[in-house]
């Protein structure tokens, strides 16, 4: 996947986010990120000095620096002792994009080679649909697991996506799948929390997200709620005849940090239809146009 520039923007804008964390999000190990940043700050250095400056254990530093050199992020300068020098930031980012694309291509090629055999193996383990269908919801952690489920739901959508969110701050992470859905003719509605209920920082994020969505999707509909929203999530392809529909949602709980909550995923058409009716009522009577 090409580096998502919008995602990077929001990572940088968050308070107290360190460059090392951003590099880890982009695929580097913690030790690689620490060693690279130490070199960028202090210039050319031998391995023992990089270990001391970065906090990477001396037993690990030689392997880490060799990895960074192999990946094209640092230059290895022959001598006694060998020294290392970080490349320019623009070169590092270009190489990072190249490495990401190469790794993606490698994994995709491997998947295509084993797809048939792996499908047959997994089918032998798969539990019968009759048992699975009894589940009303399944639970996933908020964060990467819930974002991954959301991306899958967007990629499988056929008619409509209804989104309820405070500021839709995770938009950069699901952006590609949502935009691709609209190219297939899927209609998108976004219901955001009223600004009077937001902190200043969340309000700024909401404003920027709305600008980004409108620049990405021509016919998107966005409204702002007049009241507190008791849940947030996405409702996919609901039907009032209770035949289709999927959803992922988190119940609002001000006492619990979002990262400690769980998200519920459902493919029960009746439950999804009920959530859609709730969405329509708020949309029609308790929200305003932006």
| Contact call for residues 104 and 1 (beta carbons, < 8 A) | yes
Give the integer Cα–Cα distance in Å for 61 and 78: 17
pLDDT digit string, tens, across residues 76-111: 998 889 999 999 999 999 999 999 889 889 999 999
Query: Which residues of the chain have a pLDDT value below 50?
Result: 1-7, 11-12, 14-16, 131-134
120 and 141, same domain (yes or no): no
Structural domain span for residue 248: 135-289
27 and 54, same domain (yes or no): yes
3-class SS shares of the chain: helix, strand, coil, % to 5: 55, 20, 30
60 and 142, same domain (yes or no): no
Last residue of a domain, one of 71, 103, 126: 126
Domains identified in the chain, total number: 2
Question: Residues of 254-280 as b/e, b for ≥16 C-beta within 10 angstroms?
Answer: eeeeeeeeebbbbbbbebbbbbbeebe
95 and 143, same domain (yes or no): no
pLDDT at position 143: 86
153 and 233, same domain (yes or no): yes
215 and 75, same domain (yes or no): no
107 and 222, same domain (yes or no): no
| Contact call for residues 246 and 272 (beta carbons, < 8 A) | yes
- How far is it between the farthest Cα atoms of the chain? 76
Closest CA to 208 of 259, 253, 258, 168: 168
pLDDT at position 252: 79
47 and 149, same domain (yes or no): no
223 and 280, same domain (yes or no): yes
């Amino acid at each position: 996947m090409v580096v998502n520039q919008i995602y990077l923007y929001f990572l940088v804008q968050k308070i107290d986010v360190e460059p090392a964390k951003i590099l880890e999000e982009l695929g580097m190990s913690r030790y690689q990120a620490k060693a690279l940043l130490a070199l960028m700050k202090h210039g050319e250095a031998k391995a023992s000095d990089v270990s001391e400056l970065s906090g990477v254990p001396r037993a690990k530093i030689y392997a880490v620096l060799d990895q960074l050199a192999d990946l094209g992020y640092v230059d290895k300068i022959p001598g006694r002792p060998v020294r290392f020098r970080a490349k320019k930031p623009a070169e590092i980012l270009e190489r990072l994009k190249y490495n990401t694309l190469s790794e993606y291509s490698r994994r995709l090629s491997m998947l295509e080679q084993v797809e048939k055999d792996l499908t047959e193996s997994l089918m032998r383990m798969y539990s019968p649909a009759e048992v699975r269908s009894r589940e009303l919801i399944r639970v996933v952690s908020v964060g990467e697991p819930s974002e991954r489920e959301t991306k899958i739901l967007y990629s499988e959508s056929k008619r409509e996506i209804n989104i309820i969110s405070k500021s839709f701050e995770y938009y950069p992470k699901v952006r590609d799948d949502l935009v691709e859905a609209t190219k297939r003719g899927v209609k998108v509605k976004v219901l955001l929390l009223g600004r009077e209920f937001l902190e200043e920082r969340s309000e700024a994020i909401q404003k920027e997200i709305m600008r980004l969505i409108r620049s990405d999707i021509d016919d998107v509909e966005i409204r702002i709620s007049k009241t507190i929203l008791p849940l947030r999530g996405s409702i996919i392809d609901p039907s009032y005849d209770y035949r289709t529909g999927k959803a992922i949602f988190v119940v609002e709980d001000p006492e619990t940090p979002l990262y400690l909550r769980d998200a519920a995923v459902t493919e029960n058409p009746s439950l999804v239809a009920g959530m859609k009716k709730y969405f329509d009522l708020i949309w029609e009577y308790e929200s305003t146009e932006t």
